[in-house]
Amino acid sequence: MSACGTSNGAPHGAAATGCGTAGAAETSGMATAGTASSATGANGRKLLRLEVRNAETPIERKPAWIKTKARMGPEYQQLQSLVKSEDLHTVCQEAGCPNIYECWEDREATFLIGGSQCTRRCDFCQIDTGKPADYDTDEPRRVAASVKAMQLRYATVTGVARDDLPDEGAWLHAETVRRIHAENPGTGVEILATDFSGNPDLLGEVFEARPEVFAHNVETVPRIFKRIRPAFRYERSLDVLTQARSAGLITKSNLILGMGEERHEISQALRDLHDAGTDIITITQYLRPTPRHLPVARWLPPEEFLEIKGEADEIGFSGALAGPLVRSSYRAGRLWAQSMRAKGRVLPDDLAHLDRTDGEPVFLQGV
């Protein structure tokens, strides 16, 4: 998937996204251990040789620290009832996100636009590759209506890559931001976008919609980037973030760890992202979504995530979160407000409610 890291297993956030295994797993197209041997996925697509080779390694057993506690507060319970009664759909519940209790308690949620199939394939992402659905120009209105019905304080919108379209989905991304803002003036909007092939005109259309945050997830380090994200380019992704920063937007990216990178490469990627103009960084553990995806190379303990977060703070990011279950849209509203404060910018009155500092992420406590 292009955007999520809502993307780690399901998009960046996900992505690559607060999203489940980091992104939007509304679709699966999964190959189980059984289907891998027949070399076809659930949607009938013939598996790539890489996917067949991946499937030779069984799904890894997760360490004890890959868990979270369900804390169902009043806001979460009210929102859960509303979503069921109105038949609304978010990435959060469809991806089985472990952070849904905290995000919904904050009245934050993530939506996937552009269809359920991506024109690109990343080796960590659960979104299936294939021929995308017809272009749905009514989708921005429906997403904005869902945001209003859910009374969200902050909405993250992520989308699949649409290389089949002349504008690669730029209008769809921009129009969704515009419609949410128009229908919900008290809701912050974060767009977690593809790279739009680095095209300044296409990116400019999204920038002009003025999302509170423009996010584009780099996800991994240069040495293994091409193998894991063959349709993307590391330097181009950095340039996308630079363009967004030059347009005056708060910028954000994500790194997924445990895919074969070395510790010093994480440090270099953090410096690269900061030098490119990235304001906010989220850092997470790779969770393999199906046997046909990249095997996990390493499980990072919580202590190492704390160390990496400290390094990100020292480098100078205005907002940083790191942890095994952090996802690119986790506590997104708070990170935006924190970044605004760090830049000396005044929060708009109708978004001042996002300036909250209470509570620490559950999975970073007691480490």
List binding-site positions for [4Fe-4S] cluster. Answer: 92, 97, 103, 118, 122, 125, 329
- E strands, the chain, in order: 108-113, 117-118, 128-129, 154-159, 188-192, 213-215, 250-257, 280-285, 319-322
Which residue's entry shows tokens 């934050």?
108
Q: How far, in Å, are 81, 156, 160, 325 from residue 15 at the CA level?
A: 25, 10, 10, 12
The pairing of strands 188-192 and 319-322 is unpaired
Packing angle between helix 234-246 and helix 200-208, nearest 10 degrees? 40
- The Cα–Cα gap between 285 and 13 comes to 12
Q: Are 107 and 351 in contact (CB under 8 A)?
A: no
The pairing of strands 188-192 and 154-159 is parallel
Q: Tell how far CA 176 is from the center of its chain.
A: 17
Annotated binding site: 92, 97, 103, 118, 122, 125, 329
The pairing of strands 154-159 and 108-113 is parallel
Within 13 Å of residue 182, how many CA atoms lie on the same side as its CB? Answer: 13
